[in-house]
């Protein structure tokens, strides 16, 4: 017999009754039933009930066993009484009578329990992550993550992509976040960087003539943490293709991502038709460039109904250039109680409030109610109702000013309204491509033009587009949104040096600076670069959605905490003096 086990803790069934078996695992829980000891023995695969009575030759040893001890037992498989069968586990028809036991690893008093679903502070869970990972939910999440990655790889190979690895230590390259820098021992005073993404390398792979590339790539960014983002590192399905258009990239990645959600979505509906929504429309309709389309609410501009109206606050605002009034329809939200609740929500977001109108039946027909309705009169409120397609029992909420100042709050309000009124279909994965991103933005105070989005995207219209107003230039850049999260980001690349130099010149970067920062890639483009494009899909975020988790740390094996600390391993920590001397570095204490 094998040293540790003849079967896993998920394999035994009625066909094994009478067999002598050996199992190894952890003591999930111990139950003492008046002289009969029952142990749920757990390994990575499942649970088997093992038991002993005073007739067992090792009964006194079994009495010493406690939760999370790692043990090996030998015993005989017996059928459970019909009334004692546990249909919830594969081994529920049998149990094992213990004949021998070996303690492989005793456990001290536990700082957190593995059995049950008791909640513990996140700091405790991360400090003792190896115990936290033994819990059933985390075991399932990590298995799901592994299976998702395996499925992605297979789907990419089936599409004739090959996997190539790119360097982990490289040069610093500004890509929207801070780099993690690595001091060089051999070149004092100089630094490497961990890659924020394999962006430049995968483009160079295309220049090298490899038509299709993909990689399950680690990426490193020194970012502020959020519930859906790791503060240090993450993994992405990274891909690039030559001789492709934007639609070719969509047609390639959609069946990969969609297939993964169908395979692991637990029966939830997966949208088959993925809309393409312009960045401008996404901001207008949803207040965000990662809209949750499970919520059917679309915001609309209603400025004309308030121009010269009796509601002086909105009317005077509209006299300023660039201001707007937007309405958030709220089907079934037509009660003063709900409207007051949303007004309070807006105040919690730092606004003075949120105007509203709701429509009610007064017996003699429909009536518009609320302070706004009184100020603008029945004709204007009726025109608003008709534009928004609302009926009795519905409401509308209004935000005013320069769109960039209120869009984020409007987007949050749309989400809250959809959730509270039961409008959002929670049993569905809804996808949309967000396209036509602006390449540039202008600082309102200084008038300076800078990149708003990816500087390496090909401008729509090429060089000619760069001769006009920079604010009108759109890029072949795209994101994939799902249920309010950005899952994929990509672009058709700017592969022509003359267009790249011009694009950077508009943002205030001279040719010398571009060559200094991106010399490797720019030089390569001088030697026959093909048109190419691609994207990257965030694996952690995809698994978070599939596992129905709200926090990305629930699907990462060893995550950092909110302060980018590894409480288990004690990182970051102070280097030894010998290490600093080798690197010609000195730490300056903070005041």
Q: What is the pLDDT of residues 327-337, one digit of tens each?
A: 999 999 999 99
Q: List the one residue out of 490, 492, 513, 491 whose CA is nearest residue 501.
A: 513
Confidence of residue 444 (pLDDT cuts 50, 70, 90): confident
Q: Per-residue pLDDT for 175 more than 70?
A: no
Kindly state the percentage of the chain with pLDDT values over 90: 86
Bridge pairing between strands 355-361 and 366-369: antiparallel
Q: Per-residue pLDDT for 339 more than 70?
A: yes
Domains of the chain by start residue, with CATH:
14-105 (2.40.50.140), 137-273+433-560 (3.30.930.10), 295-424 (3.30.1360.30)
CA distance 358 to 342: 12
* pLDDT value of position 171: 87
Please say whether the beta carbons of 488 and 479 come within 8 A.
yes
CA distance 475 to 466: 11
Confidence of residue 455 (pLDDT cuts 50, 70, 90): confident
Helix 403-420 to helix 336-348 angle, to the nearest 10 degrees? 140
Write the CA distances from 177 to 79, 167, 554, integer angstroms.
Answer: 60, 19, 24
Confidence of residue 356 (pLDDT cuts 50, 70, 90): very high
Mean pLDDT of 513-537: 92
Please say whether the beta carbons of 440 and 313 come within 8 A.
no
- Torsion region of 18: left, alpha or beta (phi above 0 gives left; psi -120 to 50 gives alpha): left
CA distance 440 to 504: 10
* pLDDT value of position 174: 60
Q: Give Cα 431 distance to the centre of its chain.
A: 14
What global pTM score does this model have? 0.93
Q: What is the mean pLDDT of the chain?
A: 94
Mean pLDDT of 354-370: 88
Q: Which of 278-287, 456-465, 511-520 has the weakest average pLDDT? A: 511-520
Mean pLDDT of 93-121: 94
Q: Per-residue pLDDT for 591 more than 80?
A: no
First to last CA, the chain: 65
CA distance 51 to 40: 9
* pLDDT value of position 445: 81
Rounded to 5 degrees, what angle do the CA atoms 247, 253, 257 make? 140
Question: 231 versus 239: which is more confidently predicted?
Answer: 239
Q: Per-residue pLDDT for 362 more than 90?
A: no
Query: Strand order of the sheet with strand 233-242?
Result: 162-163, 212-220, 233-242, 532-538, 485-492, 477-482, 431-435, 275-278
* pLDDT value of position 249: 98
What residues are paired with 33 via a beta bridge?
36
pLDDT tens-place string over residues 404-417 = 889 999 999 999 99
Mean pLDDT of 119-148: 96
């Amino acid at each position: 017999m094998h040293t540790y086990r003849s079967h896993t803790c998920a394999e035994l069934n009625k066909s094994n009754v009478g067999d002598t078996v050996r199992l190894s695992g952890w003591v999930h829980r111990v139950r003492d039933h008046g002289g009969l000891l029952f142990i749920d023995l757990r390994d990575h695969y499942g649970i088997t009930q093992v038991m002993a009575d005073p007739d067992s030759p090792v009964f006194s040893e079994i009495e010493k066993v406690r939760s999370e001890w790692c043990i090996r037992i030998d015993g005989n498989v017996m059928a459970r009484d019909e009334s004692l069968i546990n249909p919830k586990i594969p081994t529920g028809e049998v149990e094992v009578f213990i004949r021998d036991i070996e303690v492989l690893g005793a456990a001290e008093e536990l700082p957190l329990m593995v059995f049950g679903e008791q909640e513990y502070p996140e700091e405790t869970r991360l400090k003792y992550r190896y115990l936290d990972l033994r819990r059933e939910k985390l075991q399932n999440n990590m298995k799901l993550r592994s299976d998702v990655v395996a499925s992605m790889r297979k789907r990419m190979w089936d599409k004739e992509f090959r996997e190539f690895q790119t360097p982990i230590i490289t040069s610093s390259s500004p890509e929207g976040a801070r780099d993690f820098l690595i001091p060089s021992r051999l070149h004092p005073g100089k630094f490497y960087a961990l890659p924020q993404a394999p962006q430049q390398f995968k483009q160079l792979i295309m220049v090298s003539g490899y038509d299709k590339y993909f990689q399950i790539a680690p990426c490193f960014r020194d970012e502020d943490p959020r519930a859906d983002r790791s503060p240090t590192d993450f993994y992405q399905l990274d891909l690039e293709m030559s001789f492709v258009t934007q639609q070719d990239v969509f047609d390639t990645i959609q069946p990969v991502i969609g297939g993964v959600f169908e395979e692991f979505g637990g029966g939830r509906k997966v949208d088959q038709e993925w809309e393409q929504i312009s960045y401008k429309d996404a901001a207008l309709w949803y207040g965000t460039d990662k809209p949750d389309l499970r919520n059917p609410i679309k915001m609309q501009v209603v400025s004309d109904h308030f121009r010269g109206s009796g509601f002086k606050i909105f009317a005077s605002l509209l006299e300023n250039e660039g201001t707007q009034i937007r309405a958030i329809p709220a089907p079934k939200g037509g009660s003063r109680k709900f409207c007051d609740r949303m007004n309070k929500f807006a105040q919690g977001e730092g606004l003075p409030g949120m105007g509203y109108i709701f429509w009610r039946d007064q017996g003699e027909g429909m009536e518009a109610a609320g302070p706004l309705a009184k100020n603008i009169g029945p004709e204007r409120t009726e025109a608003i109702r008709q534009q928004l397609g609302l009926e009795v029992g519905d409401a509308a909420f209004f935000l005013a000013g320069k769109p960039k100042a209120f869009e984020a709050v409007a987007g949050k309000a749309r989400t809250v309204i959809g959730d509270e009124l039961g409008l959002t279909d929670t049993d569905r994965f809804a996808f949309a491509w967000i396209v036509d991103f602006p390449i540039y933005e202008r600082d309102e105070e200084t008038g300076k033009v800078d990149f708003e989005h990816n500087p390496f995207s090909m401008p729509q219209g090429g060089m000619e587009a760069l001769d006009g107003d920079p604010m009108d230039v759109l890029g072949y850049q795209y994101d994939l949104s799902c249920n309010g999260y950005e899952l994929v980001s990509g672009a058709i690349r700017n592969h022509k040096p003359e267009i790249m130099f011009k694009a950077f010149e508009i943002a205030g970067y001279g040719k010398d600076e571009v060559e200094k920062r991106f010399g490797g890639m720019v030089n390569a483009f001088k030697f026959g670069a093909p048109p190419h494009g691609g994207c990257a899909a965030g694996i952690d975020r995809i698994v978070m959605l599939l596992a129905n988790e709200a926090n990305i740390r629930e699907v990462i094996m060893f995550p950092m905490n909110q302060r980018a600390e590894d409480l288990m391993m004690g990182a970051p920590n102070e280097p030894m003096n010998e290490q600093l001397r080798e690197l010609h570095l000195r730490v300056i204490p903070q005041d």
